[in-house]
Structure 1
């Protein structure tokens, strides 16, 4: 069964995602905004969160380290922990992420991979105690992967936390059930398109409908917007 997916993001007023590039506000600093985002993350009570390769690389700084004496592994899946209290899921079609731990904090790591990832990378992940699921084709069938996460790990409530590309793909596929957006009293101002969600030239004009569920002013000048998400 597909988990209930909540896209949970924080952005500047002009859609920027990188807090380090934002202007400051008399009502709050970047550290306070980040802490508020994490607090809402906990309040949403997800049993997993998912990000793309670029975002996950901020958490994992390891380099490639294939085991010297690799054991045989399943080509399509490796389930290292079905009993974790929460999971950190990475969408990494090309197999570029490497880990020096099977957890981020208390969250067990699960990697979603493309079909062309070499066996050496799979043996490295398995040796590190990291779980993985391998898609049978590219582009990765996100709906099938969500079903697999629910089936293999019991994930029922998944927080989608960026970046813009993975968020756009989930929205375009009709897989997002809610949007939780914290808007900070800040501007990024860099040239070019600014957005916390992106889906190429096609955009999302005919793919998504949003219905307001709540609007709450938070400390440090933040506004928390909640929307139900449906497809036209």
Structure 2
């Protein structure tokens, strides 16, 4: 048995996944060609209902990806592999989420990519060409924008922002209202918080804990213990 109210895909009622709370996810099957990667009859991932996947555009759920709750994949976005998107999360634009989890009220948009076991939740926003991957976690009201990259075991939370071409990796933690931008690099076990700004070509590593209203912008490489 199948059900659908759109011309893009159908839900296969005979192939389902049921959670302990009674939520039922249904396998999807394409009814039309979507770009060069999805063709009529192709099987996709799992949805709770048609509200989870835009009936317009090229948006698609691939492989074993699961989208449920009020979460939605829209426009030309994609969710693939073992991805989980739930809560009120939104994946839109040309964004992609592969083998990651996005939930709460998080938004992944534009050309942003979240992959390889990354976790994005709360009211976090990943936008532009930003990438979050590895076991990195972005949450709270944090923003990762432009061409920024968050990877490794890095954590970005609170109202922190990482933008420009900045990279945060290792076990670094950026939180409160800190901002890392331009070509700055922050890694190892550095913690940046308060209203601290790290920018320019500054490279910061070690075990530093920087807070308050610091503004660090000179070029160079600094290891703070």
Common fold by TM > 0.5: no
More helix by share: 1
Query: TM-score by structure 1 length?
Result: 0.23
| Greater Rg over alpha carbons, structure | 2
Name the structure, 1 or 2, with higher relative contact order (CA <8 Å, separation 6+). Answer: 1
TM-score by length of 2: 0.24
Instruction: Identify, as 1 or 2, the structure richer in strand.
Output: 2
